[in-house]
Structure 1
Amino acid sequence: MVLFNYAFMCLIFGTTFLAIKVGVSAEAPPFFLAGIRFLAAGAILFLWMALRGKARFGLLLRKALALSGFCLTFVTFAALYWAEQYVSSGIAAVLSATGPMMILVLQAVVWRQRTSLLSAAGCAVGFAGVVLIMLPHLAEGAHPRWWIGSGVVLLGEAGYALGAIYAKSVTQRHASESPIAINAVQMAYGGLMLLALSAFTERVPVGALADSAAAGSLLYLTVVGSMFGHSLFYWLVARTNPVFPATWLYVSPPIALAVGALFLNERVAWISGLGVATVMAGTALANGPTLKRLLRRPSPDGTRLPSPEAARNRRRSHGA
């Protein structure tokens, strides 16, 4: 059951980038789409948890969760939705996989935490992969908006990395609360912020969701991507550990590239394909020390448990 749910989660997260592309390609306002998605998903999940007695309404008043929502949902997905107007869904997925490396860089540069040689090597390999992905577009004279969009995705991942580090302290302070409820609240806050951004920057037509592609994208991302995908993630965390489910980062980019090529005819040059493999290898190397600690620390019953530091590299549990 664990392996089946893990495979299903990877498939879901791998297809969300395609769904975002379909929505923004239907000319629906990107910030509006993202805001509706996360506000609806967060509200429904929170109410479901509250009705089951696993969430307190007092969580809605926590400023820390609003700040988490700003970094994890607002910054990350404002960048991703906007950028996918100009960047293919597959490339966006690969660039999004740089999040864990961003976390390591922030910890080393800002918080002066020591980084292992293996992690540093992983960051270097991952950066080389990003360069390889960009090379064909440089040779072909890609549109400036493609370059801007790619840069915006990376900036969004930097915001996510900052939020992930902050969220670790938030979850520790609210250890008695359900992590699903905490995630629901931060998603709802992020959704509200995205809608506020939309109100100031976008013209939202009356029939913005009348287009079947836009409506279908929103429904899929809200129900399947945000609600089912998140629930599977936390189910796997409860049954295994925080590290194992987060390895979706290494599996989903190839899925995103494949479905983008299949359904949207997105072209991937061979050197970009090499770059994809390099980014994933770098991400795996960068997380090597955490994985080693996970395998070395036995629990009283003989199973393996993650170290307290394993949560550092927990990826955006809500995927894309």
Structure 2
Amino acid sequence: MRSENSPQWLVILAFLAIYIVWGTTYMAIAFGLKGFPPFVLTAFRGVIAGSILLIWCLARGEKLPGAATIGNASISGVLMLVGGTGLVTWAEQYVNSGYAAIIMATEPFFFLLLDKKEWGNYFSNKWVLGGLVIGFTGIVLFFHYTQATASETKDAGMLLTGNLVLLLGAILWVVGSLYAKYKLDHSHSNTLTTGLQLLAAGLFSGLIALFTGEWADFNITTVSLPAWGGLLYLITMGSLVAYMAFTWLITIRPPALVSTHTYVNPVVAILIGWAFANEQISLLQIIALLVILAGVLFTNIPNYKLAKG
């Protein structure tokens, strides 16, 4: 759908989805983990959401693409939704939802560092270079303040591990996004491609759960109602609404504008975690969050100017 033909109300709803809904999925993951092991949770989420989208596409008469397109969609889906979302889910066993959202807010920095084809534009700009320095300073500060807060607890080591896994998740999300950008055949519908990504990610998560023993320890009859609620929310709002909104928006709006969700998601996640799970965050950690977001803002200033022009 072309930008000028997109209903304004639908665009606004899509932005609300990636601003608000994505911020709340971190808490939904925490609820899901009350009854599901991490990769079992990711497997259910991906297989169910992906199957729904593919069945919808086939019912409308769309044809499955060739093996090359299915392969590229699967690779990008596994990188983004297993390497990214799956690792977030695993890390939230040890890191609260607000912390997870803060670390994932570093994704724009890795887009700059890993998108080699754009290095000439990125690293010749003072705003980008300054933003990178500010942003990574914020990351270091957040890690430091988080470890200082947890230094007296027995889980301090796993907290650090969880944060490092989250950082790896942010990197893999970016790698998957860039792979999709440069390798994926965009002649097929966004719904079909997204369905393939989700289904591949769900199946791969199921394999990981098999090799790590999660399926052997999982008993579906003992899953609590809050955990089922978390899974349902992740499928409907996280995957079918927010993820679809994101993949649609980047086709009709400047990426610099769509990426503003990285400013809002951590704030929403922190507020939701505080309100519904009594998650605590210190003033120093909030300061580190503001430093990270300032770095993201600086790195995007050239894109904002270009979009405005």
Class of the TM-score when normalised by the shorter of the 2 chains:
0.7 to 0.9
> Following superposition of structure 1 onto structure 2, how do residues 41-60 of structure 1 map, counting pairs within 5 Å?
41-53=49-61, 55-58=62-65
Q: Which residue of 1 aligns with 2:177?
A: 164
1:6 CA displacement: 1.9
Separation in structure 2 between the aligned mates of residue 86 and residue 45 of structure 1, nearest angstrom: 32
Pick which of 122-131 and 13-22 moved more.
122-131
Q: 1:278 aligns with which of 267, 271, 291?
A: 291
Name the CA shift for 1:288/1:13 in 2 (closer, same or farther; >3 Å). same
1:9 CA displacement: 3.4
Q: Which residue of 2 aligns with 1:218?
A: 231
Name the CA shift for 1:246/1:51 in 2 (closer, same or farther; >3 Å). farther
- Asked if residue 90 in structure 1 is aligned to residue 103 in structure 2, the reply is no
Separation in structure 2 between the aligned mates of residue 149 and residue 255 of structure 1, nearest angstrom: 20
- Number of equivalences: 291
Code of the residue aligned with 2:12 in structure 1: it is: L
Preserved contact between residue 194 and residue 244 of structure 2 (Cα < 8 Å)? no
- Asked if residue 200 in structure 1 is aligned to residue 191 in structure 2, the reply is no
Separation in structure 2 between the aligned mates of residue 44 and residue 60 of structure 1, nearest angstrom: 21
Q: Which residue of 2 aligns with 1:295?
A: 308
| Greater relative CO, 1 or 2 (CA 8 Å, sep 6+) | 2
Preserved contact between residue 95 and residue 163 of structure 2 (Cα < 8 Å)? yes
Preserved contact between residue 60 and residue 185 of structure 1 (Cα < 8 Å)? no
Separation in structure 2 between the aligned mates of residue 123 and residue 51 of structure 1, nearest angstrom: 46
Separation in structure 1 between the aligned mates of residue 66 and residue 281 of structure 2, nearest angstrom: 44
Separation in structure 2 between the aligned mates of residue 161 and residue 235 of structure 1, nearest angstrom: 17
Gaps of 5+ in 2: 1-8
Name the CA shift for 1:94/1:206 in 2 (closer, same or farther; >3 Å). same
| Cα distance per residue 1:5-61 (max 9 Å; x no partner) | 42243111110001101111x1421100011101111111122123223x4223576
Separation in structure 2 between the aligned mates of residue 208 and residue 77 of structure 1, nearest angstrom: 25
Q: 2:142 aligns with which of 133, 144, 166?
A: 133
| Cα distance per residue 1:135-160 (max 9 Å; x no partner) | 33332315100000000000111111
Pick which of 6-15 and 238-247 moved more.
238-247
Preserved contact between residue 28 and residue 208 of structure 1 (Cα < 8 Å)? no
Q: Which residue of 1 aligns with 2:128?
A: 119
Name the CA shift for 1:215/1:206 in 2 (closer, same or farther; >3 Å). same
Q: 2:82 aligns with which of 74, 96, 103?
A: 74
> What is the DSSP-based 3-state SS (H/G/I as helix, E as strand, rest coil) of the residue aligned with 1:137?
helix
Q: Which residue of 2 aligns with 1:185?
A: 196
Separation in structure 2 between the aligned mates of residue 198 and residue 209 of structure 1, nearest angstrom: 18
Q: 2:21 aligns with which of 12, 18, 35?
A: 12
| Cα distance per residue 1:275-310 (max 9 Å; x no partner) | 1111112112222222222222xxxxxxxxxxxxxx
Q: TM-score, normalised by structure 2?
A: 0.87
Name the CA shift for 1:60/1:92 in 2 (closer, same or farther; >3 Å). farther
Pick which of 233-242 and 269-278 moved more.
233-242
Pick which of 230-239 and 255-264 moved more.
230-239
Preserved contact between residue 28 and residue 209 of structure 1 (Cα < 8 Å)? no
> What is the DSSP-based 3-state SS (H/G/I as helix, E as strand, rest coil) of the residue aligned with 2:95?
coil
Gaps of 5+ in 1: 297-320
Pick which of 280-289 and 74-83 moved more.
280-289
Separation in structure 1 between the aligned mates of residue 251 and residue 178 of structure 2, nearest angstrom: 20
Structure with the larger helix share: 2
1:4 CA displacement: 4.5
> What is the DSSP-based 3-state SS (H/G/I as helix, E as strand, rest coil) of the residue aligned with 2:25?
helix
Name the CA shift for 1:235/1:68 in 2 (closer, same or farther; >3 Å). closer
> What is the DSSP-based 3-state SS (H/G/I as helix, E as strand, rest coil) of the residue aligned with 2:65?
helix
Name the CA shift for 1:208/1:190 in 2 (closer, same or farther; >3 Å). farther
Preserved contact between residue 32 and residue 204 of structure 1 (Cα < 8 Å)? no
- Asked if residue 64 in structure 1 is aligned to residue 72 in structure 2, the reply is yes
Preserved contact between residue 75 and residue 159 of structure 1 (Cα < 8 Å)? yes
